[in-house]
Amino acid sequence: MAETFVLIPGAGGSGWYWHRLVEELDRRGCEAVAVTLPADDDSAGLVEYADAVIEAIDGRTGLVLVAQSMGGFTAPLVCERVPVDLLVLLNAMVPAPGESPGEWWANTGHTQARAEQAARDGRSLAEEDLVADVFFHDVPPEVTAAAMAAGAPDQSETPFTRPWPLPAWPDVPTRFLQGRDDRFFPLEFQRRIARARLGIDVDEMPGGHLVALSRPTELADRLGAYLAFTVDRASIRDGFTQGHPIF
């Protein structure tokens, strides 16, 4: 049952984003597959991103997908093509049928929500640097330095122009985990989107948008708790199926 974490990055598609979390999951005896997406390929859209995830899965079973940010557009496509035990949305975008990632921003009211949160925090969007002050504000300096040395990954505009192709969210257990200190996708904004589009509540944890870089230990703990819950629920279900309720 659910033993492999498949980690889907956001815009830029870099599997490096997950490296600190992979170390933590490995320390706990869990297999983790950090996917790199063809983000710099102008011929690749959301379907091709899903192809890359499935190629990385390489026939494994017992899967927990973890989708960061824009990865929320890709992960459900994977769930339609391979059996997935659990989907975890991490600071993620939640698509509506037929909506492209490029349309998502205006459709969800993201700009206004971000400005309102900045005002509540006493921050000025006009004076903020998107990379340093919004994405990396709580990432350790040495990790930030490594990311800056590697350079920003290229991201093609192609997937932003193509509609999300599913008619509805896939029939797979879904959890939404949100960093309460995310300056890019504010917590209250994400709560509204998750309830409106998925009918679920958001679980929160400390950390900003790049929580896998800033708080990998806490994130691994939360994912482990999700995994344990999924296994326990399956055990209860199987007990009833076999005629032996277990309580």
Per-residue pLDDT tens digits for 73-103 = 999 999 999 999 999 999 999 999 999 999 9
pTM: 0.92
CATH class of the structural domain 4-241: alpha beta
- Structural domain spans, the chain: 4-241
Neighbour count for residue 154 (Cβ, 10 Å): 12
Q: What is the CA radius of gyration of the chain?
A: 18
Quick one: DSSP state of residue 126?
G
**Who's near 81: CB < 8 A, 6+ residues apart?**
50, 54
CA triplet 128, 104, 150: central angle to 5 degrees?
Answer: 50
pLDDT of residue 3: 81
Residue 178, helix vs strand vs coil:
strand
pLDDT band at 242, cuts 50/70/90? very low
Residue range 144-173, pLDDT digits in tens: 999 999 998 999 999 999 999 999 999 999
φ/ψ (deg, to 5) at 179? -70, 125
In this structure, what token pair is assigned to residue 53?
A: 């995830």
